[in-house]
């Protein structure tokens, strides 16, 4: 805070003090309760001095409000008036023994808080001389023995000591105030810098107090939790029900630190870490710090090295396996064309052909997996894209037309940023599996392709069939590579589909809905384009 502003504040308090003091003495004079020995020796001089002091104190309000002249000149004027009038009051009350001189101590102390050291000591010296002069005047012109040089000297000494001490203390107070102000600015700047750093972090950060209310949240956390408008102080459950549940479990188990844990919350998948915050040993004020990370991004980063190695490996596989595999298939085809081949040997050529085709599909799937990191994203209007995709499948396989139902639950167009080739491959895998299992149903086979949502939190595509449900013991292995429940499957379809979904910042999950098996492709908020 500026020194001048603080000085004017002190000036207002001192002016108020003078007005209150003057009005109090005037009130005592008018009511007749003025204590002895005030005004006892020269009543008229005492009353005149008091009324003059009251008028000057009231008139001092005007230059104080205008702040002109400068406050130092106003202090000079007020201090000079105090010395003159208080000395007259002291003389009218019987001299130094009346105690009025103590008002000079207060006046000098007030002046010392606002003036530089030399000027405050100067006014203290002037006040001491005024007290001694009053004693000399009383000795020369008064007919009574009202003078006491020893007390006058002690009062003068008290005035000078008070001036020096008040000046030193005021200087230290100003230095401490300036230091506190500087530290406050540093703290404010550091706090602002910290907020800026936290707000720009890609990792979501939340601070939750003991009552599970959110006290701090950055933009990354709002984006990951899809909570753009929730205000600070709102309970955590209004930001995320799943996150609130995890926090309750953490508090129940009383863990000192919480390892990163994956939480699948449709449409997002998050990695969360909860860390306790100490509050000076006061458990009632303790809170927690919650870090949030996009699991899809973390998975993508963690797989970059693996994918690079896999790309080199698949290139070798393509060279070392496909060429001899092609030779085997070609030789089998030539052998099957022989007229002298017995029927039982002809069956063996069919087996060779089928298994050659299966190995070839495995090689192609592995090659596609190696190209997972080559994402060519584009803007897709998902409703029309899905309709064209279904029309294409029905055109290529007309026999599946009675099975397919396109359930479009969105009213407005939805645009996403996605690799169309990856999306086609994901849905082709899901659709092919759904048709195979639907044909095994004891009821009328159904394959439902459902588009639902329309906002950044719940936009997804579901491929549903009413075939036999996935066995309980197999559900945790569905997305593992080379896991299959059919003899002709490669075990890479669902694994590859999830990998391609993660490469496009989306999430593929399995759900068992009563008599229906559902695979849901959920689009993360980052790939949804909000249309105005």
pLDDT digits (tens, 9 = 90+) for 324-380: 777 787 777 777 777 777 777 777 777 787 778 767 766 766 666 655 556 778 888
Judge residue 29's burial from the number of C-beta atoms within 10 Å of its C-beta, 0-12 exposed, 13-18 middle, 19 or more buried.
Answer: middle
Q: 402-415 pLDDT, tens per residue?
A: 889 998 888 888 88
**% of the chain residues with pLDDT over 70:** 85
Q: What is the pLDDT, as a whole number, of residue 310?
A: 61
Would you place residue 53 in the very low, low, confident or very high pLDDT band (cuts 50, 70, 90)? very high
3-state secondary structure of 265: strand
pLDDT score for 172: 86
Interval 247-294: pLDDT, tens: 888 877 765 555 777 776 655 678 888 888 866 555 555 688 888 888
> In the predicted model, what is the mean pLDDT of residues 40-62?
93
Report pLDDT digits (tens) over 201-218: 878 888 888 888 888 888
Most confident of 310-319, 361-370, 455-464: 455-464
Of 102, 84, 85, 92, the closest CA to residue 46 belongs to: 92
Say which residues have a Cβ less than 8 Å from residue 503's Cβ, sequence separation at least 6: 300, 372, 373, 375, 419, 422
> How many CB atoms are located within 10 Å of the residue 501 CB?
22
Report yes or no: 499 and 306 within 8 Å, Cβ to Cβ. no
* pLDDT over threshold 90, residue 127: yes
> Residue 84: pLDDT band by 50, 70, 90 thresholds?
very high
Range of weakest confidence among 343-357, 431-445, 478-492: 478-492
pLDDT at 85: 94
How many H helices and E strands in the chain? Answer: 15, 13
Residue 80 pLDDT level (bands cut at 50, 70, 90): very high
Residue-level pLDDT at 16: 94
d(CA 267, CA 382): 16
Examine the pLDDT at 228 and tell me if it is beyond 60: yes
Residue 456 has pLDDT above 60, yes or no: no
Q: Measured in Å, how far apart are the chain's first and last C-alpha atoms?
A: 47
Q: What's residue 286's pLDDT?
A: 67
Cα(284)–Cα(307) distance, integer angstroms: 49
E strand segments, 59-212? 204-208
- Taking the whole predicted model, whether its pTM rises above 0.85 is answered as no
The reported pLDDT for the residue numbered 171 is: 84
User: Which residues 6+ apart lie within 8 Å of 106 measured at CB?
Assistant: none
pLDDT confidence of residue 265: 61
What pLDDT, on the 0 to 100 scale, is given for residue 118? 82
pLDDT of residue 454: 65
| Interval 382-386 mean pLDDT | 91
Q: What is the mean pLDDT of residues 178-190?
A: 86
- For position 182, what pLDDT does the model report? 87
Closest CA to 110 of 167, 156, 174, 67: 167
Assess whether pLDDT exceeds 60 at residue 1.
no
- CA triple 188-194-197, angle to 5 deg: 145
**What's the mean pLDDT when you consider all of the chain?**
82
Q: Indicate if the pLDDT at residue 91 is higher than 60.
A: yes
Min mean pLDDT across 24-38, 138-152, 170-184, 458-472 is at 138-152
pLDDT at 215: 85
Residue 516 has pLDDT above 70, yes or no: yes
Query: Residue 317 above 90 pLDDT?
Result: no
| pLDDT score of 240 | 81
Best CA proximity match to 418, nearest among 427, 406, 430, 410:
427
Q: How confident is the model at residue 234 (pLDDT cuts 50, 70, 90)?
A: confident
Instruction: With cut-offs at 50, 70 and 90, classify the pLDDT of residue 305.
Output: low
What is the tens place of the pLDDT at every residue in 18-49?
999 999 999 999 998 888 888 888 899 999 99
Q: Could you give the CA distance from residue 76 to residue 83 in angstroms, rounded to a whole number? A: 11
Q: Confidence band (pLDDT; 50, 70, 90) for 300?
A: low
**Residues facing residue 293 across a β-bridge:** 271
């Amino acid at each position: 805070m500026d020194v001048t502003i603080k000085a004017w504040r002190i000036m207002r308090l001192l002016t108020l003090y003078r007005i209150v003091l003057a009005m109090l003495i005037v009130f005592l004079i008018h009511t007749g309760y003025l204590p002895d020995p005030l005004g006892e020796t020269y009543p008229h001089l005492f009353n005149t001095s008091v009324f003059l002091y009251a008028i000057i104190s009231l008139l001092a309000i005007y230059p104080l409000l205008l702040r002109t002249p400068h406050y130092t000149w106003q202090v000079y004027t007020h201090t000079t008036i105090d010395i003159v009038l208080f000395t007259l009051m002291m003389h009218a009350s019987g001299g130094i023994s009346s105690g009025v001189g103590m008002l000079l101590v207060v006046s000098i102390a007030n002046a010392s808080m606002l003036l530089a050291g030399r000027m405050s000591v100067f006014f203290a010296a002037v006040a001491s001389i005024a007290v001694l002069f009053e004693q000399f005047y009383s000795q020369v012109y008064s007919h009574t023995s009202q003078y006491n040089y020893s007390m006058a000297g002690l009062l003068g000494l008290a005035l000078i000591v008070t001036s020096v001490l008040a000046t030193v203390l005021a200087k230290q107070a100003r230095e401490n105030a300036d230091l506190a102000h500087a530290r406050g600015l540093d703290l404010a700047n550091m706090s602002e810098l910290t907020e800026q750093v936290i707000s720009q972090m890609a990792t979501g950060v939340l601070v939750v107090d003991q009552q599970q209310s959110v006290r701090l949240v950055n933009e990354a956390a709002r984006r990951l939790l899809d909570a753009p408008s929730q205000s600070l102080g709102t309970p955590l459950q209004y930001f995320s029900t799943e996150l609130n549940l995890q926090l309750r479990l953490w508090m129940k188990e009383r863990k000192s630190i919480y390892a990163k844990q994956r939480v699948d919350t449709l449409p997002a998948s998050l990695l969360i870490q909860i860390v306790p915050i100490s509050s000076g040993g006061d458990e009632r004020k303790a809170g927690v710090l919650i870090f949030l990370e996009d699991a899809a991004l973390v998975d993508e980063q963690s797989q970059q090295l693996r994918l690079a190695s896999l790309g080199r490996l698949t290139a070798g596989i393509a060279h070392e396996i496909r060429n001899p595999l092609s030779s085997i298939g070609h030789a089998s085809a030539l052998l099957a064309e022989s007229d002298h081949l017995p029927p039982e040997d002809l069956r063996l050529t069919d087996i060779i052909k089928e298994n050659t085709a299966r190995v070839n599909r495995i090689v192609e799937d592995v090659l596609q997996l190696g190209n997972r990191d080559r994402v060519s994203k584009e803007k897709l209007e998902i409703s029309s894209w899905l309709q064209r995709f279904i029309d294409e499948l029905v055109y290529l396989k007309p026999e599946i037309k009675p099975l397919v139902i396109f359930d479009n639950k969105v009213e407005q167009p939805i645009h996403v940023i996605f690799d169309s080739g990856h999306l086609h491959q994901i849905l082709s895998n899901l659709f092919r599996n759904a048709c195979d299992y639907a044909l095994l149903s004891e009821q009328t086979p159904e394959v439902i392709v459902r588009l639902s949502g329309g906002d950044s939190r719940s936009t997804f595509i579901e491929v549903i069939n009413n075939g036999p449900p996935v066995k309980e013991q197999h559900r945790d292995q569905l997305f593992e590579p080379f896991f299959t429940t059919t003899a002709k499957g490669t075990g890479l379809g669902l694994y590859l589909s999830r990998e391609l979904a993660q490469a496009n910042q989306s999430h593929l999950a399995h759900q068992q809905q009563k008599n229906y098996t559902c695979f849901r492709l959920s689009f993360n908020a980052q790939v949804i384009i909000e249309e105005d």
